[in-house]
Amino acid sequence: MNAILRRATHFLGDRAPVEAAAADAEGLDARAFDLLCLTVACTLAVHLAHMPAWLGAALAALLLLRWLQRRLRGGRIPAVARFALLILMPWSILAVYRTPFGRAPGAALAVGLLVLKLLESERKRDARMAIGFCCFVLMSALLFGQSLSATLPVALALLPALATLRALQPDSGTRRMTALFAPGAGLMLASSPLALVAFVFVPRLSAPLWGAPGADAARTGVDDRMAPGDLRDLLVDDSPAMRIGFSGAPPASAQRYFRGVVLWYFDGRAWLRGLAGMRNRAPQSVSAPGAFMDYEVTLEPTRRRWLYALDVPLSAPEDVRMGADRTLERSRPVTETTHYQVASATRYVLGATLDPALRRDALQLPPGYDPRAIALARSWRAQSGNDDAAIVQAALELFRGGGFAYNLAAPPLGRDSVDDFLFGTRQGYCEHYAGAFAFLMRAAGVPARVVAGYHGGYWNDFAQYLLVRQSEAHAWDEVWLAGHGWVRVDPTAMVRRVLATAAGSQDGTAGEGGWLAWRDRLDVVDRLWDRGVVGFDALRQSELFTPLGVARLDWSQLASGLAVGIVMMLGLALLFALRAARIPPRDALAAAQRRLQEKLARCGVARLPQEGPRDFFARCMLALPASRNELITLAREYMRLRYAHVAPPAEPVRAYSRAVRNFHARSVVK
């Protein structure tokens, strides 16, 4: 039957489909398989941060085992093993994420199926399908983040994919490995101008084509619930939380407290906003005797509704509500990079008078919890009388001299968490100290509340902005003192032994040297990328040509600009092609022969003007008897390439050039 089909297609004059199908059915050679494994490994590496560590390690081990099996033993993976892994992969995803829907489970499933595809990739057709799937999975990584540090790995991972496609071509067997990457890199560079035109003129949508991300979306920033251990993952996260540009000098390090959410209610385990933080009341009065600061905040997505402001904000940005506790809250969550202007005071008196309802909320404690802490607080009240400030100092002295330590690996606490912390472990981080301090104050009759936000930041002198990272999340307290209003108290600062966090020291200052300092300085590149690329939305696009007198660009003008840009790019490409056509092709064979003649001339055997190649090679063999065999091979190959072809094939010419480059004369007969 196959013979009949071949004869029929030959009779009809259409052999290309059969030849293409036969080429696709060819086996996958070792070099192409290595490049395919490299492409899959790069795709897996791009997604490692978005999946559980054990799943990433399992997929990496499976990829490595498949590469070793193909290199050492060869042969196909048994179908039973492949089927078992195919069943196990979705089951594992469902066991971890509890749902197959969403970005994180969808990306993990796609990467897992890609690695499984490698187990059956034995032919060129399988490799091409795997590369197409790789490119799709690579692009899905941009759904998790579009920063420069996330986009560059995706772009670079396309290079091994293109090199693999080049390795699948029929004439690639004799090419060097580095030569397989050159066409893809050239194509990416050549397409950059057209990509820039499309970036500027393709109309932006005011909202993405897909819906809002599900519950699996990555969430950053502090939460409105704080229990011992909740902030630990955030304190080891180096990613930027926000960037702040000030109209004047930045505040001192000790004043860099950024208020996020105020926690009023304690249920025995966790601090929550409670009804006091959610009631629609007028903001508490604030008087600022000193100058206030104007600044602009660029907040990264948090999936939460509150904004962060330097303590305390004097006004709310547009479409933002200011709560009674001077917190800023939007009507919708922050799902994209957000810019807003705020004015704040660092020297202030907040809430000079305290409403009775707020006082009750600021003294609330659940019954039946932490009896030892309550007894300690009541002893302070008995000793200090009506002096609330003395009670505050007594609590701070307890943290300063009571053997407490800052430790991100603090042991877990039991039902009476405050008692366990104060009289047992005495190890923890800011949420332990802030929660315990507020409990002690309330037990002693001093109104107190917990404030969660950020403290510290790195001031970038070059770009003039303050960088605040997630690892600088912090919790502190506010106590109400008669005549002073709400006063900020940071009990964590009283701890003597403070262990450094991932991004810097506990007080929020970044490391002074090494990689941490350089990382903070280079953040300016990410900021420019966020503003110029990620933040290039429909509004900025419509106002792009405002300096040229065009007020706003509509869809028709953008489409016209896109068409003009494409025509210009095609025109430049046509001019380049026509110019290249006028340039005579470089005779690589003649160039290699000239290099050989130069080498022989340095050995004392120069080619005479009237001497043909055959006579010249013969004379060289007599003059260099030690190199006779190499010269015979070079002569035979040169004569075949020069006189047996109208145009010598490219790869044999490159092989001849390599042979000339490796040729070294050994002796000369005088």
| pLDDT at residue 19 tops 50 | no
Retrieve residue 253's tokens.
């390090």
Say whether both 462 and 392 belong to one domain.
yes
180 domain residue, yes or no:
no
Question: Could you tell me the pLDDT band of residue 666, with boundaries at 50, 70 and 90?
Answer: low
> With contact defined as beta carbons under 8 Å apart, do 372 and 423 qualify?
yes
182 domain residue, yes or no:
no
Helical ranges in 141-176 per DSSP H:
148-167
| pLDDT at residue 185 tops 80 | yes
Say whether both 499 and 413 belong to one domain.
yes
Count of domains observed in the chain = 3
Last-in-domain residue among 139, 168, 197: 168
pLDDT at 6: 43
pLDDT at 563: 86
DSSP codes joined into one string, 201-246 = HSPPPSS-SS----TTS---S--SEE-TTTTHHHHT--SEEEEEEE
Say whether both 296 and 395 belong to one domain.
yes
> With contact defined as beta carbons under 8 Å apart, do 157 and 46 qualify?
yes
> With contact defined as beta carbons under 8 Å apart, do 328 and 307 qualify?
yes
In percent, the amount of the chain with pLDDT more than 70 equals 86
Say whether both 10 and 140 belong to one domain.
yes
* Average pLDDT, integer, range 208-234: 64
201 domain residue, yes or no:
no
| pLDDT at residue 213 tops 60 | no
Peptide bond into 261 cis (omega under 30): no
Q: How do residues 390-441 score in pLDDT, each as one tens digit?
A: 999 999 999 998 889 998 888 889 899 999 999 999 999 899 999 999 999 9
* Average pLDDT, integer, range 451-480: 91
| pLDDT at residue 500 tops 70 | no
Retrieve residue 175's tokens.
């090419």
273 domain residue, yes or no:
yes
pLDDT at 510: 42
Say whether both 241 and 359 belong to one domain.
yes
DSSP codes joined into one string, 351-363 = -SS--HHHHHHHT
The residues, any chain, with a CB within 8 Å of residue 154's CB and separated by 6 or more, are: 46, 138, 139, 141, 142
> With contact defined as beta carbons under 8 Å apart, do 140 and 110 qualify?
yes
Q: How high is the mean pLDDT of the chain?
A: 83
Strands 427-428 and 405-406: parallel
Say whether both 412 and 508 belong to one domain.
yes
Say whether both 372 and 298 belong to one domain.
yes
Picking from 21-35, 138-152, 647-661, which range would have the lowest pLDDT averaged per residue? 21-35
Pairwise pLDDT comparison (27 vs 66), residue with the higher score: 66
Q: How do residues 45-58 score in pLDDT, each as one tens digit?
A: 999 888 888 888 99
| 3-class SS of residue 601 | helix
| pLDDT at residue 549 tops 50 | yes
236 domain residue, yes or no:
yes
pLDDT at 435: 95
* Average pLDDT, integer, range 142-163: 86
Residue 284: name the closest of 142, 485, 441 by CA: 485
Say whether both 486 and 592 belong to one domain.
no
Q: How do residues 566-609 score in pLDDT, each as one tens digit?
A: 888 888 888 887 776 665 566 888 888 888 988 888 888 888 88
Question: Could you tell me the pLDDT band of residue 497, with boundaries at 50, 70 and 90?
Answer: low
pTM: 0.63
Element (H, E) at 124: helix 124-140
Q: What DSSP designation does 410 have?
A: P
pLDDT at 436: 95
The distance of Cα 146 from the centroid of its chain, to the nearest Å, equals 7
d(CA 438, CA 433): 9
Pairwise pLDDT comparison (484 vs 506), residue with the higher score: 484
d(CA 78, CA 70): 13
Picking from 366-380, 447-461, 543-557, 582-596, which range would have the lowest pLDDT averaged per residue? 543-557
Last-in-domain residue among 484, 499, 521: 521
Cα pseudo-dihedral 306, 309, 312, 316, rounded to 10: -70
Residue 121: name the closest of 82, 90, 157, 159 by CA: 82
Question: What does R_g of the chain's alpha carbons equal in angstroms?
Answer: 35
d(CA 479, CA 389): 9
Say whether both 232 and 164 belong to one domain.
no
Retrieve residue 1's tokens.
């039957």
Burial pattern 619-648, b for ≥16 Cβ within 10 A else e, equals ebbebbeebeebbeebbebbeebeeeeeeb
pLDDT at 491: 95
| pLDDT at residue 8 tops 60 | no
307 domain residue, yes or no:
yes
| pLDDT at residue 287 tops 70 | yes
pLDDT at 625: 87
> Residue 140 belongs to what domain range?
2-168
The residues, any chain, with a CB within 8 Å of residue 507's CB and separated by 6 or more, are: 253, 455, 456, 493, 498
154 domain residue, yes or no:
yes
Retrieve residue 549's tokens.
């007198």
Question: Could you tell me the pLDDT band of residue 142, with boundaries at 50, 70 and 90?
Answer: confident
pLDDT at 171: 66
Q: How do residues 76-105 score in pLDDT, each as one tens digit?
A: 888 888 888 888 888 888 888 887 788 888
Greatest distance between any 2 Cα atoms in the chain:
118
pLDDT at 584: 56
* Average pLDDT, integer, range 128-146: 88
pLDDT at 432: 93
Q: How do residues 643-655 score in pLDDT, each as one tens digit?
A: 887 778 878 888 8
540 phi-psi bin (left φ>0, alpha ψ -120 to 50, beta other)? alpha
Say whether both 251 and 327 belong to one domain.
yes
Retrieve residue 463's tokens.
């770009």
173 domain residue, yes or no:
no
Say whether both 157 and 248 belong to one domain.
no
* Average pLDDT, integer, range 166-181: 76
Last-in-domain residue among 469, 503, 521: 521
Neighbours of 563 (CB within 10 A): 12
Say whether both 381 and 508 belong to one domain.
yes
d(CA 388, CA 483): 11
Pairwise pLDDT comparison (327 vs 530), residue with the higher score: 327
